[in-house]
Chain A
Amino acid sequence: MKSLVKEAELYRTQGLLEESKERYLEVLQLIEKNQRFQSNKKAINVIKDRIVGLERDLAEIDQETEAPELSGKVQDLIKNLFSFSQNKDAAEMEGAVALARFGQYERALAEFNSLLDKGTLPLIAAKNVLRCHLALSSTDAAIDQFRKWLSGELLSKKQLRDIRSFLEYVLKRKGIQTKLPEVVGESSQKPKEVGSEGGFLDVCSVKMRLESGPCKGSTKELDVTFQSGNVISLIVSAKDKDLIDSFMPGIRLRGVHFFSSICVFRANGIVSEWTSIKTGPRRGDYVLSITIDRSDKLDIL
């Protein structure tokens, strides 16, 4: 029993909390089976306290997987680390998307606005500006931003129409009924576009039937908060813990319906990550990342 306690303590100091808890439970079982130890209430209580403490630490860790607000220096590092393209414009966009994916929304917003001002991949930059506003729960800010673009010259009419239908769809999915101003007139100016914006379709929401976990057999529909190529991020309410438990990393999601502003397509996806949000209005909720499998055929529905 002494060696079991020693092991349990060592695992605890190593941060191997599950392993530590298992050992303490073994110790408790041994005590309960052995009459000689049963009278030692003090020892039993110490072990029980340890188990409760470990359970509390494990629960805290579950809640600690948030993206904290990082220093400017670290944000710069993230931006550089996650910019892989040789093409300068694409690399800058990747850096900004990485910031958003790690929950650095304020900084990401500044980066997307700067890219938009420079005319770098304006359609992607503009949509990401709106996504940042929406992630910060600033629906009004997103709508105001769209109005500003309408009266400016940063974006072509064609791009504005695309952005309008994107925003309209996202707001509708959020249950927000608002009449967005129309884009009037034909596109006469050449957009200040640099590089190609070809890539994955913008996905606004997804619908899928879950094949495992506590929600097995049920069909769920969720909104997309962020997208980087074929990786989409979704926010799930903390109240839906069962749903989170149904999305363990690595799980393959078959026949997912991906809704974009121009079409609906069906493809497979893989759950790549989930984290919880600690700050802001969505504190306590979860962010799920799903990778759309490019190797499979995408069925346009």
Chain B
Amino acid sequence: MANFNLKDRVIECKIVYYGPGRGGKTTNLQYIHKAFKKQTTGEMISINTKGDRTLFFDFLPLGLGKIKGCEIKVQLYTVPGQVRYSSTRKMVLKGVDGVVFVADSLEVRRKENMLSLKDLQQNLAEQKKSIFKIPLVLQYNKRDLAKESIPLLSVKLMERELNGKLKVPSFPASALKGTGVRATLQECLKLTLQHLQRELKWAG
């Protein structure tokens, strides 16, 4: 749950990038770190293995300035996608306010996308949060690989399989090129802040 400092009128919220391993969560944050230079309030911290796989998490703090008289601070995190890091994902997800689910468009990762989304649902449920109620945005990453003639899942199929029941905003993207990264984050921020406004009854 977001931290609302009434006295100083500061709201600090947490957005977690979730999804299967090697799907592009860290690449999203790396692009945001470059593209949102003005909003970045600290350096990006990544704890990786030698193979550049996220071991614990990535962390990037942002400052969005004042909205309705409150200073908004955002902490962006990624989770390790590999199946074995289940308890780390649970820990990073604690106190989450909004989620970006980064799905891999590669056809060979179809099953992993579904398993990871199910894992997200279960881990949110352990925090007594519903995947249907939390601010959530889906991103279909690696769309640029279509040009390389690599078998990709169609956006239509991904929508049906991942977003059929959720019906949340979704964006085709290429985190490597930066396409769709900004739009994904902006939508997640919008949903999260709207949600917090209702929850915290915060007004200008």
Distance from B4 Cβ to chain A, minimum over Cβ atoms (Å): 13
Does B202 reach chain A (CB closer than 8 Å)? no
Q: Are A273 and B149 in contact (CB under 8 A)?
A: no
Closest to A102 in B: B56
Q: Are A70 and B22 in contact (CB under 8 A)?
A: no
Query: Known interface pairs A231-B87, A272-B87. Does A15 touch B52 (Cβ–Cβ under 8 Å)?
Result: yes
Q: Are B92 and A289 in contact (CB under 8 A)?
A: no
Contacts of B151 in A (CB 8 A): 7
Q: Report the tally of A-B residue pairs with Cβ distances under 8 A.
A: 76
Query: Known interface pairs A65-B84, A84-B95. Does A11 touch B148 (Cβ–Cβ under 8 Å)?
Result: no
Q: Cα distance A153–B153 when bound, in Å? A: 66
Q: Are B108 and A19 in contact (CB under 8 A)?
A: yes
Contact of A289 among B49, B52, B59, B87 (CB under 8 A): B87
Query: Known interface pairs A84-B95, A102-B56. Does A273 touch B86 (Cβ–Cβ under 8 Å)?
Result: yes
Q: Are B22 and A60 in contact (CB under 8 A)?
A: no
Contact of B87 among A10, A14, A16, A291 (CB under 8 A): A291
On chain B, the number of residues with a Cβ less than 8 Å from chain A's Cβ atoms is 32
Contact of B84 among A7, A73, A77, A275 (CB under 8 A): A275
Q: Are B84 and A273 in contact (CB under 8 A)?
A: yes
Contacts of B6 in A (CB 8 A): none
Contact of B53 among A15, A82, A98 (CB under 8 A): A15
Does B94 reach chain A (CB closer than 8 Å)? yes
Q: Are B83 and A11 in contact (CB under 8 A)?
A: no
Does A78 reach chain B (CB closer than 8 Å)? yes
Does A249 reach chain B (CB closer than 8 Å)? yes
Does B106 reach chain A (CB closer than 8 Å)? yes
Contacts of B53 in A (CB 8 A): 15, 61, 64
Contact of A74 among B47, B50, B77, B88 (CB under 8 A): B47
Interface string of B152-190 (1 = CB under 8 A from A): 000000000000000000000000000000000000000
Q: Are A273 and B49 in contact (CB under 8 A)?
A: no
Contacts of A3 in B (CB 8 A): 149
Q: Are B49 and A249 in contact (CB under 8 A)?
A: no
Q: Enumerate B45-77 residues with CB–CB distance to A below 8 Å.
A: 45, 47, 49-53, 55-57, 59, 77
Q: Are B47 and A81 in contact (CB under 8 A)?
A: no
Q: Cα distance A82–B150 when bound, in Å? A: 40
Q: Are A6 and B148 in contact (CB under 8 A)?
A: yes
Closest to B52 in A: A15
Closest to A14 in B: B22
Does B109 reach chain A (CB closer than 8 Å)? yes
18 contacts between A and B (CB under 8 A): A6-B149, A10-B145, A14-B106, A15-B52, A16-B106, A16-B109, A19-B109, A67-B55, A68-B47, A74-B45, A74-B47, A78-B56, A231-B87, A249-B83, A272-B87, A273-B85, A273-B87, A273-B88
Please provide the 4 A-B residue pairs with the shortest distance between their CB atoms, ordered closest to farther: A272-B87, A273-B87, A64-B49, A15-B22
B residues touching A (Cβ–Cβ < 8 Å)?
Answer: 22, 45, 47, 49-53, 55-57, 59, 77, 83-88, 90-92, 94-95, 106, 108-109, 145, 148-151
